[in-house]
Amino acid sequence: MEDRILGLHHITAIADNAKRNLQFYTETLGLRFVKKTVNFDDPGTYHFYFGDEHGTPGSILTFFPWEGIGRGQTGTGMATEIGYSVPAGSLDFWVERFKTHNVTHGPIAERFGEQYLPFEDPDGLKLNLIVSKTADNRQAWETAEVKAAHATKGFHSIVLTLRSIGPTASILTEVLGYKFLEQDGNRHRFVTDAIPEANIVDLVESKEPAGRGGGGTNHHVAFRVENDEILMKFRDKVVKKGLNITQKINRDYFFSLYFREPGGVLFELATNNPGFTVDEPLDQLGQHLKLPVQYESMRADIEKVLPALK
């Protein structure tokens, strides 16, 4: 396997209410609930994973639903918009669905020659459904109400909003292997050809105030590598750029490194291995509360404090 970044692995955001978050992403948006676990650093808080059938890297949106945290504020120094790829001809379906479910959304528009539909989740997280101008052959997860003809296929892109794009662009190109593709106003598109989907990062240069974390904001963006060996090669590259980066961390479903890029966005590098079926079979993903081994002895206490989901 070539030592390259394979696009996006997952994106992690913050929610204010666990039950509402779960209902929106599984029922309204039609994603699969891939994993129900807890925050490694705060085991009294859930960590939800939503994605496709297998929890394929490039489809995984995760949440820390901190009850009552209140809304944050998007701004510079953070990831500000998540793009999902959807099939051609599906946007009218989503407009009607969003109207039916009282989802805040804007009109269908076009950017970089691609149609998109902007919307917000119940916490105000900004997302876009995008009809990619390149073929997306990924298999969508279907529900009773959202069939494959309309369903999300996984990530299309992530948007980072920055006071100045230069330092971040240098990390994307010199460390992560992305290349500048094109510009639309103050939006600069970078892409990797290492993988055909979930391979776009848009940098938006803005003078707006710095963002403030809370409900409806993104916590970090994770980029994908094949395995641990390649992960550590990228650690060396980050160190050589003079940035601080963590040691390898076992997140049960992947191994990770974290560093903050010069524009302020928290980046993660995450492996494909071992995947989400390491602790429960494919047909049961998301059905059971899975705890990191260090918290298993505390299961009864943890279950008492976690919010009810039904």
Q: What is the pLDDT of residues 81-106, one digit of tens each?
A: 999 999 999 999 999 999 999 999 99
User: Nearest 5°: CA angle at 44, between 276 and 228?
Assistant: 35
pLDDT averaged over every residue in the chain: 97
- Asked whether residue 310 is domain-assigned, the answer is no
* 63, part of any domain: yes
Q: pLDDT tens, 160-180?
A: 999 999 999 999 999 999 999
Q: Is residue 36 part of a domain?
A: yes
3, part of any domain: no
Q: Answer yes or no: are the C-beta atoms of 13 and 219 closer than 8 Å.
A: yes
In a domain, 29, yes or no: yes
Domain membership of residue 72 (yes or no) is: yes
Fill in the DSSP letter of residue 276.
Answer: G
Q: What confidence score (pLDDT) does residue 248 get?
A: 98
Q: Determine the distance from the C-alpha atom of residue 80 to the mean position of all C-alpha atoms in its chain, rounded to a whole number.
A: 11
Domain assignment of residue 136, given as a range: 8-305
How far apart CA 219 and CA 82 sit, in angstroms, is 12
> Cβ distance 206 to 252 under 8 Å?
no
CATH code, 48? 3.10.180.10
Type of residue found at 1: M
Is 1 domain-assigned?
Answer: no
Task: Encode pLDDT of 101-136 as tens digits.
Answer: 999 999 999 999 999 999 999 999 999 999 999 999
Show the tokens assigned to 70: 């209140």
| Cα separations in angstroms, 85 against 137, 206, 231, 245, 300 | 10, 25, 27, 31, 40
Contacts of 23 (CB under 8 A, 6+ apart): none
pLDDT > 60? residue 261: yes
Per the structure, how many domains does the chain have?
1
The pTM of the full predicted model, rounded to 2 decimals, is 0.97
- The answer on pLDDT for 1 being more than 60 is no
Closest CA to 127 of 24, 253, 48: 24
2 located within any domain: no
